[in-house]
Structure 1
């Protein structure tokens, strides 16, 4: 019974937060918050990726691939190109056993 109550509570919280976000869509945010929200996706991405890179046994290889990925995304503004380039560098370094 407690599993069902927990699932219903999770559903209610998720639905409530989504409805609240949708209902606030017509409000205009101040420029400070608009500028602040531009950095949220990259911050979340970094929070997910950096610990995985740092804790891996091949951390140097992953860090090199991550740096290439970040530079490609920064220069080309293409996420797909950055991801493909990062994977390419990682597999090249792994195949050649350089790092």
Structure 2
């Protein structure tokens, strides 16, 4: 795969993020929407939109604006770990909020 400058980029991060987005979207989105009374076809449509949005974001982030494959990573490990922690915290809070809305 090539970025917008024509340099070769590693396709693995794009594939991993896209596949993870598809798995999460189809695992959680329909179940949560069905508990709120949304029809199955609409829940699957939202899950598909979520999966496509994730794949589009991953393509833009890791392919279009990605660094060439032979460029060393310059982001410190502590910063990447911090971003991963806060991202997981946001996802956990989102799921907890959806679970709490179910009981209201």
Specify the TM-score bucket, using the shorter chain as the normaliser.
Answer: 0.3 to 0.5
Q: Greater relative contact order: 1 or 2 (C-alpha under 8 angstroms, separation 6 or more)?
A: 2
Structure 1 length-normalised TM: 0.38
Q: Which has the higher helix share?
A: 1
Structure 2 length-normalised TM: 0.37
